[in-house]
Amino acid sequence: MKVRYNCSSQSGKNKRVLDFAKRCFGPEIEKRMEYLLTSFPDAPNVFSIYFDIFKPILDKSKKVLDAGCGRGEYTWFIKAKEVVGVDAKKKELEIARIRAPRKISYIYADLDNIPFPRDSYDTILCYMVMEHLQYPQKTIKEFSRILSSSGNLLILTPNIYNPFYFINKHFPQVLLHFLKQRLKIMENETDLYYQANTYSTLHKLLQDEGFSAIKWYYCLDTPITTRTSLYLFFWKLINSLSRLPFFSWLSPQIAVVARRKARKNG
């Protein structure tokens, strides 16, 4: 089932999003988010999918893995009985351990070789990580292995059919770097591959590894990587187009709530 989710920052959610940015991402991102919410008060933002869709599932879980946790920004807010973060960057994990407001285990490991036995978790969060994986099928296979039967897999990742992400993948990197400098856009420090960033590709990967998708979301978003008004105007234009019937496939983000099917051998 595919649903268009607007990720609206309205209905009193602006303060929640700004507090989240301030607490988790530091003063620079806080300033950019504050500018965005002030200049474009109706702008959708992808943080809402975490709070509105993912977090209620995470909080009801007994044991959660935040796969590709980075500095642990999203890990902190999970209220499950046991929460573990895993990432392949040691420096990010060191920061996560220092900044964590409570006791959370952080493990250094690649996502295609997660050091946990079968059926270890009942929920896995994979938030803005799939686009960084060169071999996402290996990671989905690992998720399937360590999730218990009927366990939840929560994924949010960019949609490569969105014009901005399409350009990000297919433009020559030298030209892309020049454009980002001119537009004062923060560049991603982690490699981007976009190997599983369409509905059809991700759907097939999940099916092949024993998952059934409960619900898909096409999510609107507005970047906090720049304050350039012209760039934000075009984002707003694409978001408006994505709201129209038959154009949701242009939405910036794809989210899915998937469930691990019961294992045949029990």
Whether residue 265 is contained in a domain is answered as no
Backbone φ and ψ of 224, nearest 5°: -105, 15
Total domain count, the chain: 1
Backbone φ and ψ of 45, nearest 5°: -145, 145
Segment (H or E) for 219: strand 211-219
The residue segments making up the domain with residue 40 are 2-260
pLDDT at 2: 64
CA–CA separation, 63 and 82 (whole Å): 5
Whether residue 246 is contained in a domain is answered as yes
Whether residue 187 is contained in a domain is answered as yes
Q: Mean pLDDT, the chain, as a whole number?
A: 85
The length of the chain is: 266
Whether residue 266 is contained in a domain is answered as no
Q: What tens digit of pLDDT does each residue of 209-249 get?
A: 999 977 898 888 877 666 677 777 888 888 889 888 789 88
The contacts of residue 147 (CB under 8 Å, 6+ apart) are 119, 120, 121, 122, 123, 124, 153, 260
Whether residue 193 is contained in a domain is answered as yes
Average of per-residue pLDDT across 191-218: 92
Q: Is the pLDDT of residue 9 over 50?
A: no
- Helix residue ranges, H only, the chain: 13-39, 47-49, 55-60, 90-99, 136-146, 163-170, 173-182, 199-208, 229-242
For residue 75, the domain's CATH number is 3.40.50.150
- 116-133: b or e for each residue (b if 16 or more CB lie within 10 Å)? eeeebbbbbbbbbbbbbb
CA–CA separation, 193 and 201 (whole Å): 14
Whether residue 214 is contained in a domain is answered as yes
pTM of the full predicted structure?
0.89
Laid out side by side, the sheet with 121-127 consists of 2-5, 211-219, 253-260, 147-158, 121-127, 63-67, 82-87, 105-108
Return the closest-CA partner of residue 41 out of 232, 245, 249, 243.
232
Q: What tens digit of pLDDT does each residue of 125-151 get?
A: 999 999 999 999 999 999 999 999 999
Whether residue 13 is contained in a domain is answered as yes
